[in-house]
């Protein structure tokens, strides 16, 4: 397939591909340590934190789990607005960690408002910045501020899995204490790495649990450029290479991603399709399927044009389809995808 239009994994950045053509490094050698430290420093810049970023071998869900298990103790109360599949996952992870979880259930496609999270009595708020299952984006700084006014000692944990390098993000400046992300979305690398960013305040509040996922042990090793266990060092090299290329031109990159996703919504509007999200994220465009048209038919129309798309999740399964240009696409390729989208619906 030529056109990977799924919201992760995505079309790879050429710098990631190039990184994989290098000889294998042993992770406990000086060149590997230097690479690991470089990747961590670039990730701190990407998350905009004065704290630390830990690189874990696993996917975004692992990073979400590591965040929750290492920052909250069993019995603590957290507020989790649920407005899609991944915010549902955050609530499930918090329950699995023994927390007392208050879900704020919203219809898929909607987003929570600041007054809905301005409720006292919580040790934490868990939010998904870009809810990939519905294509919605929350106003993270406004929500973090409202929550902290009601809970001055509360921690805000955010899933930035499809906002890192897709949309502006900032930890301390936004009142976010910890964030989770992964390699196979906005970073345009293969799947296999999860990242946990911790603000200086979150670092002081670490209450490590578990063995493989003990973030204090990771922190100690990663400050020296190593990880506690064998890391996916080749992926670390790919992440460093992509960040080194993209970060110096981040505003232009984010503007391109926003333009490309708007283009998908403009084509959808021309075709009479209704968007799913109330407030769209630039990571993915989600549309309701027209009356009488099955997801399978739409998927096959794209597949005939060598394009892979995504369907709905949870209650949206069989009701929506999703297209993403989060991967490595330039302006001209995006226009090609727009033409393909129109053609697929002309079938
Ligand atoms: N959070 C969000 C917002 C996502 O989009 C995804 C994956 O699509 C995840 C979490 C889970 O990430 P992974 O599939 O890498 O575990």
Best residue among 85, 160, 162, 165 to mutate for probing ligand 1's pocket (most ligand atoms within 8 Å of CB) is: 162
Output the pLDDT for position 347. 81
Q: What is the model's pLDDT at position 56?
A: 98
pLDDT at residue 2, rounded to an integer: 82
Q: What is the pLDDT of residues 264-323, one digit of tens each?
A: 999 999 999 999 999 999 999 999 999 999 999 999 999 999 999 999 999 999 999 999
Is 260 a pocket residue for ligand 1 (Cβ < 6 Å)? no
User: What's the pLDDT band for 1 if we cut at 50, 70, 90?
Assistant: low
What is the residue with the minimal CA distance to atom 5 of ligand 1? 132
pTM of the full structure? 0.98
pLDDT in tens, 190-225: 999 999 999 999 999 999 998 999 999 999 999 999
Compute the average pLDDT of residues 153-182. 98
Per-residue H/E/C for the chain: CCEECCCCCCCCCHHHHHHCCCCCCCCCCHHHHHHHHHHHHHHHHHHCCCCEEEEEECCHHHHHHHHHHHHCCCCCEEEEEECCHHHHHHHHHHHHCCCEEEEEECCECECCCHHHHCCCCCCEEEEECEECCCCEECCHHHHHHHHHHHCCCCEEEEECCCCCCCCCCCCHHHCCCEEEEECCCCCCCCCCEEEEEECHHHHHCCCCCCCCCCHHHHHHHHHCCCCCCCCCHHHHHHHHHHHHHHHHHHHHHHHHHHHHHHHHHHHHHHCCCCECCCCECCCCEEEECCCCCCHHHHHHHHHCCCEECEECCHHHCCCEEEECCCCCCCHHHHHHHHHHHHHHHHC
Section 249-258 average pLDDT = 98
69 lines ligand 1 (CB under 6 A): no
Mean pLDDT, the chain, integer: 97
- Atom in ligand 1 nearest the alpha carbon of residue 130: 3
């Amino acid at each position: 397939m030529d056109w990977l239009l799924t919201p992760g994994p995505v079309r790879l950045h050429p710098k990631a591909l190039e990184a994989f053509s290098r000889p294998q490094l042993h992770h406990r050698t000086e060149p590997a340590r230097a690479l690991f430290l470089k990747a961590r420093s670039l990730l701190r810049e990407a998350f905009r934190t004065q704290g630390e970023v830990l690189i874990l071998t696993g996917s975004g869900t692992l990073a979400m789990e590591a965040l929750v298990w290492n920052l909250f103790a069993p019995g603590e109360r957290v507020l989790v607005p649920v407005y899609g599949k991944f915010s549902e996952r955050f609530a499930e992870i918090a329950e699995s960690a023994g927390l007392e979880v208050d879900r704020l259930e919203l219809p898929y496609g909607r987003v929570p408002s600041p007054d809905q999270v301005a409720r006292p009595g919580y040790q934490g708020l868990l939010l998904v910045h870009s809810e990939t299952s519905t294509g919605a984006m929350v106003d993270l700084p406004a929500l973090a501020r409202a929550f902290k006014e009601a809970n001055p000692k509360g921690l805000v944990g955010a899933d930035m899995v499809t906002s890192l390098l897709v949309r502006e993000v900032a930890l301390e400046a936004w009142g976010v204490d910890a964030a989770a992300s992964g390699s196979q979305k906005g970073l345009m690398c293969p799947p296999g790495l999860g990242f946990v960013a911790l603000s200086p305040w979150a670092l002081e509040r670490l209450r490590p649990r578990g063995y493989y996922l003990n973030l204090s042990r990771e922190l100690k090793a990663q400050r020296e450029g190593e990880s506690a266990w064998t890391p996916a060092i080749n992926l670390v090299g790919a992440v460093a290479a992509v960040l080194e290329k993209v970060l110096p031109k981040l505003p232009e990159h984010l503007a391109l991603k926003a333009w490309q996703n708007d283009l998908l919504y403009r084509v959808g509007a021309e075709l009479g399709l209704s968007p799913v999200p109330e407030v769209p994220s630039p990571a993915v465009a989600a549309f309701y399927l027209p009356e009488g048209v099955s997801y399978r038919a739409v998927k096959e129309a794209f597949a005939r044009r060598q394009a892979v798309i995504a369907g709905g999740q949870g209650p949206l399964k069989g009701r929506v389809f999703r297209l993403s240009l989060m991967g490595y696409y330039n302006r001209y390729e995006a226009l090609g995808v727009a033409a393909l989208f129109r053609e697929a619906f002309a079938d």
